[in-house]
Structure 1
Amino acid sequence: MNLRTLSVVVLLFIATPCSGAISPYESVKSATDDLLAKLNKLRPAYDTDQGHFFSEIDKALAPFVDFEGFSRGVMAKFYRRATPDQRTAFAERFRELLIQTYAKALVEFDNQKVVVREDVKTGRDASRAAVTLDIHGKNGAIYPVEYSLVLKDDVWKLRNVVINGINIGLQFKSQFGFYMQKHRNDIDSVIEAWRVDG
């Protein structure tokens, strides 16, 4: 099971609204169950109408990912150097790339068993939590996926994900840093040129 296939499980959380009135576990469990039921209906559109397919994934992702917070972490030290317009443009570009990445991964998801762990990690900040899913591969291996969540406006939103020990936020950050070096710290050029590897 490759990283792209694993990464589709991000959708298993963000495709369904998650009210702050219920626990992070209940939010993730409900969203996972709902999306697994939708996968078979959505997958055929990838071959017949990719525009529609990407649009549907965009609708699923947009309300429940903290794109601003996620993209700020990816830009890291360069965030402060960016103008408000550049920050907005990068967040939009990041959203586009993230949606494309997981939309393509969606078609590779082959009804693997997904188990949401009930033990939720929390800290002193009640607005943050981490929920782990276990994906059971066909080879018998179990792949842990940890969602980092933040509570914003009574909705649990995705801020980062660690897939089988691979921190996706850090991967995006590394790729962004590479493009900044390549384009001599020209943020506008990076926004225009950046592509996500894989």
Structure 2
Amino acid sequence: MRKLFALFVAVVGLTVAAADTPAPETLVRNTSQEVLDLIKKENLSPSDKRFRDLVEAKVLPSFDFTRITMLAVGRHWRDATPQQQDALTREFRSLLVRTYSTALTANKVQNIEVKPVKMSDNDTDITVRTEVGIANGQPFPIDYRLLKVNNAWKVYDVAVEGVSLVTNYRTSFNQTIQKDGIDGLIKALAERNASQPAKAAGK
């Protein structure tokens, strides 16, 4: 459950870079505090429409879901048709968003400490390290892998306590593809999403 919760923290901590491309650690720090303050102030839960709107507006633009899916699928990605790639990205994105939302109910964030990042103006691929403090538990590390594309930083992997999101899913995805093919993986993801419908969808 900690890793599920950590994935939510990962998306909470990042947003789209402004035109002047602020330092990644500043971007993480400012956005995470803004979102956490809003959640506490309004006492939001994953079933609230406001919460879902917040995720859509503040979180999703920060992630390169196509790249994340491509890396998670691994060598099989190039064998997929454009339609299959789109379907994989769509279903995997839905799965991750549900994970982020439901994980919030398991823990309460107390603070997020963003570690300084040493980087040059020419760097385009960096890791931002943070430590997450939660209620009634030991703090734990989350590392964000970000790629700078078109003057904006995008997340393409998250490591929780040293475990990579991309690597973790790649193992299970590879097993499913070897057994049932790419369409089998799409079907499995779609069925998993359908079996966990968003609560209070009309709220």
Superposition TM-score tier, normalisation by shorter sequence: 0.7 to 0.9
How far residue 125 of structure 1 moved from its aligned partner, in angstroms, is: 6.4
How high is the TM-score relative to the length of structure 2? Answer: 0.81
How do 1:139-154 and structure 2 match up within 5 A?
139=136, 141-154=138-151
Moved more, 59-68 or 37-46: 37-46
How far residue 171 of structure 1 moved from its aligned partner, in angstroms, is: 1.1
How far residue 190 of structure 1 moved from its aligned partner, in angstroms, is: 1.4
* Cα shift readout 1:45-65 (whole Å, capped 9, x = no counterpart): 52xx5x664454234333110
In 2: Cα distance, 1:124 partner to 1:181 partner: 42
How far residue 85 of structure 1 moved from its aligned partner, in angstroms, is: 1.3
* Cα shift readout 1:1-52 (whole Å, capped 9, x = no counterpart): 72222222112223x3323521111111111111111223363352xx5x66
* Cα shift readout 1:60-86 (whole Å, capped 9, x = no counterpart): 333110111111101101011011111
How far residue 106 of structure 1 moved from its aligned partner, in angstroms, is: 2.3
What is the root-mean-square deviation of aligned Cα atoms in Å?
Answer: 2.5
How high is the TM-score relative to the length of structure 1? Answer: 0.83
In 2: Cα distance, 1:121 partner to 1:98 partner: 29
Distance 1:77 1:124, change over 3 A: farther
In 2: Cα distance, 1:172 partner to 1:125 partner: 31
Partner of residue 124, structure 2: 127
How far residue 167 of structure 1 moved from its aligned partner, in angstroms, is: 1.1
What percent identity do the matched residue pairs reach?
25
Partner of residue 8, structure 1: 8
How far residue 121 of structure 1 moved from its aligned partner, in angstroms, is: 5.4
Q: What one-letter code is carried by the residue in structure 2 that aligns with 1:57? A: V
| 1:170 corresponds to 2:171 | no
Q: What one-letter code is carried by the residue in structure 2 that aligns with 1:193? A: A
Q: Which ranges in structure 1 are unaligned for 5 or more consecutive residues?
A: none
Q: What one-letter code is carried by the residue in structure 1 that aligns with 2:17? A: C
